[in-house]
Amino acid sequence: MSAPEAPFGLLAELTYRCPLACAYCSNPLEMAAYNDELSTSDWQRVFAEAAELGVLQCHLSGGEPLLRRDLTDLVRTASELGMYTNLVTSAMGLSRSRATVLREAGLDHVQISVQADEPTTSDRIAGIPSFERKLEACRLVRELDWPLTVNVVIHRQNIDRIGAILALVEELQADRVELANTQYYGWAWKNRSALLPSKEQLDRSEEVVSAARERLAGRMEIVHVLPDYYSDYPKPCMGGWAARQLTVAPNGDALPCPAAQTLPLPRASVRDASVEEIWTSAPLFTAFRGTDWMQEPCRTCDRREVDFGGCRCQAFQLTGDATRTDPVCFKSPDHHLVEQAVDGANAPDRRVDLELVPRPHRA
């Protein structure tokens, strides 16, 4: 296999601590392994190595990155290295003074999560009263002339409000909104039966989003990520395994995608090796790069270089074998596992407001 192209983006998960308790959180279930967070100097070295490798975008995420006291220093470092910086935040803790300092340090973009369009639903999903503070933060971002993306994780308990959510985002004058249907990892996996929408809900939401795209064309970009479980083919995970992006977890683990810590492969850590060494030769990164690893039906499928067999983490989670075809694919011998979940979500007696198991607070 030829040497891989340089990654385009780095997702720097600075901490998994978070004041919210969202029941769809994709962060790991076992949090103790991530308590020993990388130091400021560690992260600055990682950013320098990533920039030298060719990374152009640095996404500062978590958990809640605002809980890192050194966030301003990290933003300044990434900015001075020439990377475009994006803060992915719940906005809890984004005060005017903190925002002003981050703006001066070179932060380019802010992405704020919102759970719903009104406080009762939003606060229930987030696990704490947070709705009004999020709206204040969005208005502050626009006042400071930052580009604003609003991210809304869509699921069974808010999908019927998608029209009102879009109206709220329009009112907040966001440049971009991501309506991302839940990916079933971490706490979302534990809550799948309460989160997976019905086909009827999904069809209605697509009609609403399509109409909004037409009405808001040229004013606001609408990204609508549909749930894998209702697709005939899987999505190309991260644009292909270890093809365009890498993630670094709070403890220094380097990952081809944010969920890859679940796979039974040797760990790779920026504490032990450079970003370039990990990207080019770590077994975790080379295991599913390209197509040589594929089994049938992927090996001879004409889509093998389109969706790359789908999500390795989802394949492992559903089948126990990371080399299997993603069960989302209708050609997969394990597709019945997805069909069973979909059948359950579409049962006539399935309630919309099933009880959620909240993620524990770790602020």
The overall longest dimension of the chain from CA atoms, in Å, is: 57
The pLDDT score that the predictor gives to residue 299 is: 94
List alpha helices for 127-249, DSSP H: 131-143, 162-171, 186-190, 192-195, 199-216
Residue 109, in any domain of the structure? yes
| Tally of domains in the chain | 1
How much of the chain, in percent, has pLDDT values that exceed 70? Answer: 96
pTM: 0.94
The two tokens of residue 187 are 């706490």
Q: Which domain holds residue 141?
A: 7-362
The pLDDT score that the predictor gives to residue 354 is: 61
- Does residue 1 register a pLDDT over 60? no
Phi, psi dihedrals of residue 339, rounded to the nearest 5°: -60, -35
Determine the average pLDDT of the residues in 296-315. Answer: 93
- Does residue 233 register a pLDDT over 80? yes
Residue 279, in any domain of the structure? yes
Phi, psi dihedrals of residue 60, rounded to the nearest 5°: -95, 110
- Residue pair 43/88 in contact by the 8 Å Cβ criterion: no
112-131, pLDDT tens digit by residue? 999 999 999 999 999 999 99
Confidence band of 237 (pLDDT split at 50, 70, 90): confident
The pLDDT score that the predictor gives to residue 168 is: 97
Residue 1, in any domain of the structure? no
Looking at residue 342, its amino acid is V
Residue 165, in any domain of the structure? yes
- Report the binding-site residues: 18, 22, 25
Residue 107, in any domain of the structure? yes
Q: What is the mean pLDDT of the chain?
A: 93
DSSP string, 297-334: TTTT-TTTTTTTTS-HHHHHHHHS-TTSPPTTSTTSTT
Residue 2, in any domain of the structure? no
Measured at the CA of 322, the angle between CA 319 and CA 326, to 5 degrees, comes to: 65
Residue 136, in any domain of the structure? yes
Which CATH number do you get for residue 22?
A: 3.20.20.70
The pLDDT score that the predictor gives to residue 29 is: 74
- Does residue 245 register a pLDDT over 90? yes
Residue 43, in any domain of the structure? yes
The pLDDT score that the predictor gives to residue 79 is: 98
The pLDDT score that the predictor gives to residue 239 is: 83
List beta partners, residue 10. Answer: 58, 246
Alpha-carbon gap, residue 225 to 214, rounded angstroms = 17
The two tokens of residue 241 are 């395994």
- Does residue 244 register a pLDDT over 60? yes
DSSP string, 326-352: PTTSTTSTTHHHHHHHHHHHT-TT--S
The pLDDT score that the predictor gives to residue 33 is: 78
Confidence band of 68 (pLDDT split at 50, 70, 90): very high
Q: Report cis status (omega within 30 of 0) of the bond before 63.
A: yes
Phi, psi dihedrals of residue 151, rounded to the nearest 5°: -110, 130
- Does residue 361 register a pLDDT over 60? no
Alpha-carbon gap, residue 202 to 183, rounded angstroms = 15
| CB burial of residue 82 (10 Å; 0-12, 13-18, 19+) | exposed
CA distance readout (Å), 103 to 76, 107, 191, 192, 327: 10, 5, 37, 38, 44
DSSP string, 218-278: TT-EEEEE--GGG-SS---GGGSTTTSEEEE-TTSBEESSTTGGGSSS---BTTTS-HHHH
- Report the binding-site residues for [4Fe-4S] cluster: 18, 22, 25
The pLDDT score that the predictor gives to residue 34 is: 86
Determine the average pLDDT of the residues in 194-213. Answer: 96
CA distance readout (Å), 61 to 185, 248, 267, 290: 17, 10, 21, 28
Element counts in the chain: helices (H) and strands (E): 13, 9
- Residue pair 345/198 in contact by the 8 Å Cβ criterion: yes
Measured at the CA of 289, the angle between CA 183 and CA 82, to 5 degrees, comes to: 80
The position carrying tokens 């080379």 is: 286
Determine the average pLDDT of the residues in 213-230. Answer: 94
258-267, pLDDT tens digit by residue? 989 889 999 9
